[in-house]
A and B are shown apart, each in its own frame.
Chain A
Amino acid sequence: AQKITQTQPGMFVQEKEAVTLDCTYDTSDPSYGLFWYKQPSSGEMIFLIYQGSYDQQNATEGRYSLNFQKARKSANLVISASQLGDSAMYFCAMIQGGSEKLVFGKGMKLTVNP
């Protein structure tokens, strides 16, 4: 069965600093995808970045990059140069094989201080 683990309940970071949000996953399917979503207090889930299991390079999207370590089954999100607007809940999620079902972790709360 597929599982996403996010163990950090919350993190605090100073504005303009970089921050790494941890995510580990478990699956027996060799074909899978990993996602990070942001959920501000307004409630809407905002897609940030995607990494496929067969992708050779780590995904990057603007200030977001995904540190994909396949052997360790980790997919950490790195946010460079944090901004106040980055304060939100962050969820790691996985999709497996031919399924369309996203499986989410419990999320972690990031607070960016001025």
Chain B
Amino acid sequence: DTGVSQDPRHKITKRGQNVTFRCDPISEHNRLYWYRQTLGQGPEFLTYFQNEAQLEKSRLLSDRFSAERPKGSFSTLEIQRTEQGDSAMYLCASRGGWRDWTTDTQYFGPGTRLTVL
């Protein structure tokens, strides 16, 4: 089993630009999650997909943020008109959803580190 992969690993952009991140979950995992982690903090939940349906969104996910999972496999997270406060690590996780949490937990990818200048 390959793990969760994320691309790019690092992104530097100028304020006001749009950025898009990609997440490829573990094969056959039907649940996919996005989290944001700022320096010195734990990850904060952004949104969650079950297959292609976006079932839960955090208030943190402002109008400038949009996430998609069009075919129920990979997902993209787009940030429009980036601000310096968007600088963070963006983490993706996936889970099978068919077993209990002991053996079917959220497995995280390596993250995309965004720096907004």
Residues of A at the B interface (CB closer than 8 Å) are: 4, 33, 35, 37, 42-47, 50, 52, 59, 91, 93, 95, 99-107
A91 and B42 contact, Cβ closer than 8 Å, known pairs A43-B89, A43-B113: yes
A104 and B44 contact, Cβ closer than 8 Å, known pairs A44-B110, A44-B111: yes
A43 and B55 contact, Cβ closer than 8 Å, known pairs A50-B105, A101-B45: no
Residues of B within 8 A of A91 (CB): 42-43
Q: Is the CB of B106 within 8 A of A102?
A: yes
Query: Chain B interface secondary structure, helix, strand, loop or mixed?
Result: strand
B48 contacts partner chain A, Cβ-Cβ < 8 Å: yes
B28 contacts partner chain A, Cβ-Cβ < 8 Å: no
Interface size on B, residues (CB 8 A): 29
Q: Is the CB of A43 within 8 A of B41?
A: no
Q: Is the CB of B42 within 8 A of A105?
A: yes
CA distance A3 to B44 in the complex (A): 12
CB contact between A43 and one of B33, B56, B111 (< 8 Å): that residue: B111
CA distance A101 to B91 in the complex (A): 13
Distance of B44 from chain A, by nearest CB (Å) = 7
Q: Is the CB of B48 within 8 A of A101?
A: yes
CA distance A93 to B43 in the complex (A): 10
B98 contacts partner chain A, Cβ-Cβ < 8 Å: no
Interface string of B29-44 (1 = CB under 8 A from A): 0010101000011111
Q: Is the CB of A93 within 8 A of B110?
A: no
